[in-house]
Amino acid sequence: MKMELIQPFINAADAVLSETLACSVAISDISMDEEPYQRHATAALVEISGDIEGRVIFDVEDGTAMKVASALAGAELEPDAQLMRETVAELANLVIGNAVTSLNDAGFRFKVHPPIDHPAATGFRGSEDTEALVMDFSSPAGSVFMNVALRYNRRRRADQNPT
């Protein structure tokens, strides 16, 4: 998986998490994942189809999810499983939406599907042409794991029709 696909997701996650958690965020671990995905806490999955296809999983520790929920709501909220699921789905939506905005401006065309819950403990392994990259974003508010498995479906139109 090329950095041109990954970097927009890193930038978007960094920007959105820093803003919603109101603290600094850093990637503390990054690895290629060949095994089936192992869920850490509350997870949401977003599928992408078009010039690039694959999926991104957002996996957020419960305490971190509540901090994000409270920050987005502008008020301290009580822990609640449904609220955490909704928060993680919205966080995934925010990060992926911002990332695909950058990718679209770079010439890629695709469709982003609405986030769905990822309730299974395991699932979705990477493959030779769809490697999964796992990033652990750490902050004083806790960890957020982003698992990105994308591949080129078609080259960009500009690459297909060089002038």
Partner 1 sequence: MEQFPALLRATDRQPVRYLVVDDSVFARKNLARIIDSYGGSLAGEAGDGCTAIAEYDRTRADIVLMDITMPQMEGIEAAERIVRQHPDARIIMVSSVGYQENIVAALQKGARHFVQKPVKPELLYEVIKYVLGDAAVTAANAAAGANATAGE
Instruction: Name the residues that contact partner 1, by CB under 8 A.
Output: 16, 19-20, 69, 72-75, 83, 86-87, 89-90, 93-98, 100-101, 104-105, 112-115
Pairwise CA distance, residues 83 & 92, whole Å: 14
Pairwise CA distance, residues 48 & 50, whole Å: 7
Compare residues 65 and 149 and give the one whose CB is closer to partner 1.
65
Compare residues 56 and 126 and give the one whose CB is closer to partner 1.
56
Q: How far is the CB of 129 from partner 1 (least distance, A)?
A: 26
Q: Check if the beta carbon of residue 53 is closer than 8 Å to that of residue 148.
A: no
Q: How far is the CB of 156 from partner 1 (least distance, A)?
A: 14
Q: How far is the CB of 75 from partner 1 (least distance, A)?
A: 7
Compare residues 17 and 126 and give the one whose CB is closer to partner 1.
17
The CA distances from residue 63 to 20, 42, 91, 100, 142, in Å, are 14, 10, 14, 27, 7
Compare residues 44 and 133 and give the one whose CB is closer to partner 1.
44
Compare residues 1 and 94 and give the one whose CB is closer to partner 1.
94
Q: What are 72's strand-pairing partners?
A: none
Q: How far is the CB of 5 from partner 1 (least distance, A)?
A: 16
Angle between the N-to-C axes of helices 62-73 and 81-105, in degrees from 0 to 180, rounded to the nearest 10: 80
Q: How far is the CB of 35 from partner 1 (least distance, A)?
A: 30
Pairwise CA distance, residues 26 & 10, whole Å: 10
Please compute Rg for the chain using Cα positions.
16
